Amino acid sequence: MKVLVAAPLHEKALEVLKNAGFEIVYEEYPDEDRLLELVRDADAIIVRSKPKVTRKVIEAAPKLKVIGRAGVGLDNIDLEAAKERGIKVVNSPGASSRSVAELAVGLMFAVARKIAFADRKMREGVWAKKQCMGIELEGKTIGVIGFGRIGYEVAKIANALGMKVLLYDPKPNEERAKEVGGKFVSLEELLKESDVVTLHVPLLDATYHLINEERLKLMKKTAILINAARGAVVDTEALVKALQEGWIYGAGLDVFEEEPLPADHPLTKLDNVVLTPHIGASTEEAQMRAGVQVAEQIVEILKG
């Protein structure tokens, strides 16, 4: 059986496929024309956030039985076309939860203690000790919006840091909340009471611009906003205004409405925001887990 690996995959994941006796064809991010050639005799294909597995690609692969996405989202796979052909689609949703959570907490510290700003000033030859007055996180209130896998991990770390944990989720799980010392409240109460607000929701119609001008104005002037979920959960224009005019203390962002973020974007001109290039899942451990989980599911499906 032939497995087409069309994106970088951890060695351990490739080992899982080899040990199952599959033939592996490896080509990193082929364009659509090349992909159409490669899938002709493939039994399985593995991708990351790219390449796109379109209807055209699926129709060009008569032997295809399973599509694997090493990672979380399935936005680059035509699920309808796969379903029509009875092709299974698998992914690894839990693989990067801890990594994203640790980045969110890292951003909290970076904003609270002005770490990126201080580093920038040092490189400019400026000893900016006075400008780098920060705040502690212990004893502060964190508001976690979206209490799934990642929200849970963030709350667990925040609880260990001695923070008070408020939670908002349309489907509250009280048992899980108890484990992290968390309390479910309304979105409005969470925004008004929290010193740090961190977002861990998927991008849906209901979460598009969930954090808009009106909701930013509910937040404390001393509050920090963290977004390591999806860019469009926050109205960027409103956030820029909030940061410029001091409605909130600062923000830590790993995701943006437009990615890559344009070099001249207003966010890049502000000192009270820390920016990272969508690296939430970019750890050795998350990449290894994502690959291995998908490889194991593919082995199971192809070996029946």
Mean pLDDT by 10 residues, the chain (304 residues): 97 97 97 97 96 97 97 91 97 95 98 98 98 98 98 98 98 98 98 98 95 98 98 98 98 97 98 97 96 98 92
Of 56, 64, 106, 55, nearest in space to 86 by CA: 64
| pLDDT at 302 (0 to 100) | 97
Please give the pLDDT value at position 304. 82
The alpha carbon of 18 is separated from its chain's Cα centroid by a whole number of angstroms, namely 30
| pLDDT at 122 (0 to 100) | 98
Task: For residues 53 and 121, state if they share a domain.
Answer: no
Domain at 57, CATH number: 3.40.50.720
37 plus 53 within the same structural domain = yes
Q: Which residues are catalytic?
A: 230, 259, 278
Which residue segment(s) compose the domain that 148 sits in? 96-275
- pLDDT at position 72 is 84
Residues 6+ apart with CB under 8 A from 73: 49, 91
47-65 as b/e: b if 16+ CB within 10 A: bbbebebbeebbebbeebb
**Per-residue tokens: 28:** 């990193």
DSSP strands (E only) in 146-272: 164-168, 182-184, 196-199, 224-227, 250-253
pLDDT at 75: 85
Number of structural domains found in the chain:
2
Q: Within 10 A of 279 (CB to CB), how many other CB atoms are there?
A: 13
Alpha-carbon distance 281 to 10, whole Å?
A: 14
Whether residue 101 sits in one domain with residue 49: no
| The residue to which tokens 């973020």 are assigned | 261
Which pairing describes strands 273-275 and 2-5: parallel, antiparallel, or unpaired?
Answer: unpaired
The reported pLDDT for the residue numbered 167 is: 98
Co-location of 174 and 159 in the same domain: yes
| Per-residue DSSP letter, 275 | E
- Do 141 and 206 share a structural domain? yes
Residues 129 and 63 reside in one and the same domain = no
Residue 57: its pLDDT value, please? 97
Query: Are 50 and 199 in a shared domain?
Result: no
